[in-house]
Chain A
Amino acid sequence: MSLRPPVSEKDHIQGNPNASIELVQYGDYQCPYCWKAYPIVKRLQASLGDNLKFIFRNFPLTKVHPHAKIASLASEAAALQHKYWEMHDMLYEQHKDLRYEAILSYAIGLGLDLDLFEKDIKSSVLEEKVDGDFLGGLRSGVNATPTFFINGEKYTESWEENNLLDHLWTSNLV
């Protein structure tokens, strides 16, 4: 099953843009499995270095995770102040408290302009971005979080422990 839409300049991309491996994660900031995947992705990035380009897309399951969408919106609002990955990391590291007040304190901690951040977090443009990520995930066959795509193809094996890392190192992509 393949990724639709493919990665573009609308995405948040971390790492070497010309890397041979493009790893896309669909994730939810309030999902315990994504909490587990967060350090695994960090290890992958450290291990693969310039061989890896990492992209994160929002897939908030709002009916079971009531804070997931506001967290996604917060990451997008931080992106408008060029602090996307800083907020992304903060939300995963502080996942135990994703209430709105807590998120505002994280924004302050990252030195964001709070008035602007609060205005952006409520904007329909960012809501459409998050909803667009979600719909794209649905159309690409995301059925749970986290779901990974490697160079556009859905990865259906285990991502836990060293499985994804081993898969990538042995995939002939490096």
Chain B
Amino acid sequence: MLQKGTSAPNFSLLSTPDQKLSLSELRGKKVILAFYPADWSPVCGDQLVLYNETLTYFQKHNAILIGISVDGIWCHIAFRKDRNLHFPLLSDFEPKGDVSKLYEVYDPEVGESKRALYVIDEEGIIQWSHLSPVGINPGADGILDALDALAESKKLPHLN
């Protein structure tokens, strides 16, 4: 995976059938990227359903959550509606897995993204990452700890 302190590579992926979302548009906010293998598979469902409930806590940190998988946009639309998800799912569909490869979380054997998390700060720098075994829901505690640590480190200059 990409290392802490490196600049998060920009990308632009469909978030709706006729709209793309670019990482660069989100400068000034913290961004949580949740790469996951596939819509509808049970663990992803639990993981994303959990994050859906955690959005208010992410928002308190000025952080927005984005899900990314290789599923097509129409699949994402159906999945978001079914699970009542309130955050964008981006479609890393064509060329397949390009952004997952860019972030070093593509599994070429199954043709899906791995289950991986990145926390990117307001300046677009990667501050935390985590790779989870594909069948394990990583929960939200690692993300929340990373956001807390960032908030702490940002406080330090003002103390001097």
Binding site for B on A (CB under 8 A): 1, 61-64, 134-135, 138-144
Contacts and interface: CB of A to CB of B under 8 A. Distances in A.
A138 B83 contact: no
A63 B84 contact: yes
B86 interface: yes
B141 A138 contact: yes
A141 B57 CA distance: 15
B79 to A, nearest CB: 13
B54 A138 contact: yes
B53 A143 contact: no
Contacts of B85: 63
Contacts of B16: none
B140 interface: yes
Contact of B50 (A1, A139, A143): A143
Interface in B104-148: 137-141, 144-145
Given A64-B84, A138-B141, A143 B46 contact: yes
Given A63-B83, A64-B49, A139-B145, 13 more contacts: A61-B50, A61-B53, A63-B52, A64-B83, A134-B53, A138-B50, A138-B57, A138-B141, A139-B144, A141-B141, A143-B140, A144-B46, A144-B50
A144 B144 contact: no
B58 to A, nearest CB: 11
Range, interface on chain B: 10 to 19
Contacts of A139: 141, 144-145
A78 to B, nearest CB: 24
B49 A61 contact: yes
Contacts of A134: 53
Contacts of B12: none
Interface string B64-91: 0000000000000000000111100000
A135 B144 CA distance: 10
22 contacts: A61-B49, A61-B50, A61-B53, A62-B53, A63-B49, A63-B52, A63-B53, A63-B85, A63-B86, A64-B52, A64-B83, A138-B50, A138-B54, A138-B140, A139-B144, A139-B145, A140-B141, A141-B141, A142-B139, A143-B47, A143-B137, A144-B50
Please indicate which of the listed interface residues B50, B54, B83, B138 has the most CB atoms of chain A within 10 Å of its own CB: B50
Contact of A1 (B54, B83, B141): B141
Interface in B39-53: 46-47, 49-50, 52-53
A141 B136 CA distance: 12
B156 to A, nearest CB: 23
A142 B57 CA distance: 15
Nearest to B86: A63
A135 B140 CA distance: 10
Contacts of B145: 139
B137 A144 contact: yes
B139 A143 contact: yes
Contacts of B46: 143-144
Contacts of B49: 61, 63-64
Contacts of B52: 63-64
